[in-house]
Structure formats: C-alpha cells, structure tokens
C-alpha cells in the first residue's frame, strides 16, 4: 500500500530513516504533501532524492498568513515532474473561522491550477463541508481526494459523486470513531485511500506518539477489519487506487 498523505519534512525523525522504515514495513510509496511555499523546497528535495516519494504543492487553509498564495510560485512548483497533486488546500472554519473568505479564494485558486495542469486536488475540510463541496463542483475531471476524512456519509457520497476519492487516517482506529467506521464500510473499494498525515494522528496501537509513514499499515489493517476483507487484498486495491488517482506508473 501507499501512504497517500504524509509530511515527511515535518517528522520528528530524520526523513530518510522514516522512508527506510516504511519500505521495510511494506509501504510501496509516499506522497509528501506541501502545506506552504516556505517549506516547499524541503518537500521537493525529498521527492527528488527518494524514488518512492512523490510531492504535492499547495498552501493549507491554516497557513495562509492573511494573504493569498503567490500563484506564480505555486504554478512553477506544480510543474515539477515529481509533483502529482495540488494541495493541501481547502477550508477550515474550526481553526480559522475569521479567514473564511480568504480560504475560499485560495481554494478557488488551487482548483483553477489543478484544472489548468490536469492534476488531482488534495482537500482538507473542517467544519466547512457544505461550502467545500459547493466550491469543488468546479474541480476538474480528475477531482482528487478528501484527505483525512472525518465527515458523515452524506458528505462522502457528495464527494464521491464529484469524482473524489476518500482517504482514511488513523482516526478510524480511535475508540470513539464508530460513525466514521460506518462511512468507511460504505465507500466503494475503488475510491478508497489510506494515509498517516504523519507526524499527526498516530493510529492505535501507537496513539499519542509522533506518527510516521510506516504506520499506514496499521491504518490499513483497521480498515480491512472494518470492511471484513483480507489485508493483502485491501493493500493491492489501495496501491492500485493511489497509482490511478495520482497517475504514478
């Protein structure tokens, strides 16, 4: 399987060690996701030095710093051959309700860039599902992924109808996440992804520790249990889904 969303450059451990550990655990590849332009060079360096690490380019809604991202810089990074997606972008009214208008404008800018370059979007949404979905109706044919999904089935269904994949993180293994596990049961197999979002959200049995890409296996194991399928079969499906969405050969 792949870790479809991690922040290798933000881990507690040295990124190369984390990549090696993930490989040893059977992780076939990782998408190192950009959160702001200041750290994009570090993200790209990791994708350039590891054959199984790819990158995305974007400015997280909580990293806007009261201004719209520089579209020229975003576009330049996005044309790098190791970049497979635009994001993460989206809306977060939980952490930054006062920045709603700016976040919407930034999301629109990322959507336009994804359409222009025919790349999938990596979407973060928190306490803003309806407005996120409304804007995503303008996403391109390749749509993208709803990362670290924690919303209800109605939202999942609406995103699936727009062509989006649904990515589950370690949150599905948390004791109080029964509603989310119900959603994870209902998503069609060919639209599922898993991720760590490391260094955050370590899955059971590592909860509370600093997360790392190797532990995506624990997320997948939980998802396999929830769906009543063998881990090996699910892993093959997840790999195929990741490669299809991000067009990785």
Q: What own/partner pairs with CB < 8 Å and gap ≥ 24 does 72-76 have? A: 73/37, 74/37, 74/109, 74/110, 74/113, 75/113, 75/116, 75/117
Q: How far is the CB of 228 from Zn ion (least distance, A)?
A: 29
User: Among residues 3 and 218, whose Cβ is nearest to Zn ion?
Assistant: 3
User: Among residues 92 and 197, whose Cβ is nearest to Zn ion?
Assistant: 197
Q: How far is the CB of 65 from Zn ion (least distance, A)?
A: 17
CB 107 within 8 A of CB 85: no
Angle at which helix 231-246 crosses helix 216-227, to 10 degrees, equals: 110
Residue 89's nearest CA partner among 54, 61, 127 is: 61
Residue 166's nearest CA partner among 115, 203, 117, 129 is: 129
User: Among residues 182 and 210, whose Cβ is nearest to Zn ion?
Assistant: 210
User: Among residues 140 and 199, whose Cβ is nearest to Zn ion?
Assistant: 199
DSSP secondary structure code for residue 59 in this structure: -
Residue of this chain nearest to Zn ion (CB atom): 197
Q: What share of the chain is helix, strand, coil (3-state, %, to 5)?
A: 50, 15, 35
Q: How far is the CB of 35 from Zn ion (least distance, A)?
A: 7
Q: How far is the CB of 33 from Zn ion (least distance, A)?
A: 5
User: Among residues 151 and 224, whose Cβ is nearest to Zn ion?
Assistant: 151
Q: How far is the CB of 209 from Zn ion (least distance, A)?
A: 17
SS3 for 29? strand
SS3 for 92? strand
User: Among residues 150 and 225, whose Cβ is nearest to Zn ion?
Assistant: 150
* CA diameter of the chain: 47
Q: How far is the CB of 200 from Zn ion (least distance, A)?
A: 7
- Residues forming the site for Zn ion (CB under 5 A): 197
């Amino acid at each position: 399987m792949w870790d479809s969303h991690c922040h290798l450059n933000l881990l507690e451990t040295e990124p190369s060690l984390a990549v090696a550990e993930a490989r040893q655990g059977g992780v076939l590849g990782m998408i190192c996701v950009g959160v702001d332009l200041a750290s994009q060079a570090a993200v790209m360096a990791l994708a350039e030095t590891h054959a199984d690490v790819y990158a995305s380019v974007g400015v997280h809604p909580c990293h806007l710093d009261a201004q719209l991202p520089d579209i020229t810089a975003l576009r330049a990074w996005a044309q790098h051959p190791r970049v497979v997606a635009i994001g993460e972008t989206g809306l977060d009214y939980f952490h930054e309700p006062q920045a709603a208008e700016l976040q919407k404008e930034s999301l629109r800018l990322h959507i336009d860039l994804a359409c222009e370059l025919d790349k999938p979007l990596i979407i973060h949404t928190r306490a803003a599902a309806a407005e996120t979905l409304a804007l995503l109706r303008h996403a391109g044919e390749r749509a993208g992924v709803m990362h670290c999904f924690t919303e209800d089935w109605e939202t999942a269904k609406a995103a699936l109808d727009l062509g989006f994949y649904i990515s589950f993180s370690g949150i599905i293994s948390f004791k109080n996440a029964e509603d989310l596990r119900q959603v994870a049961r209902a998503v069609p197999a060919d639209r599922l992804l898993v991720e760590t979002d490391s260094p955050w959200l370590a899955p059971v049995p590592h909860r509370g520790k600093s997360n790392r890409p190797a532990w995506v296996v624990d997320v997948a194991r939980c998802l396999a249990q929830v769906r009543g399928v063998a881990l090996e079969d699910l892993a093959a499906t997840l790999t195929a889904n990741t490669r299809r969405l991000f067009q990785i050969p």
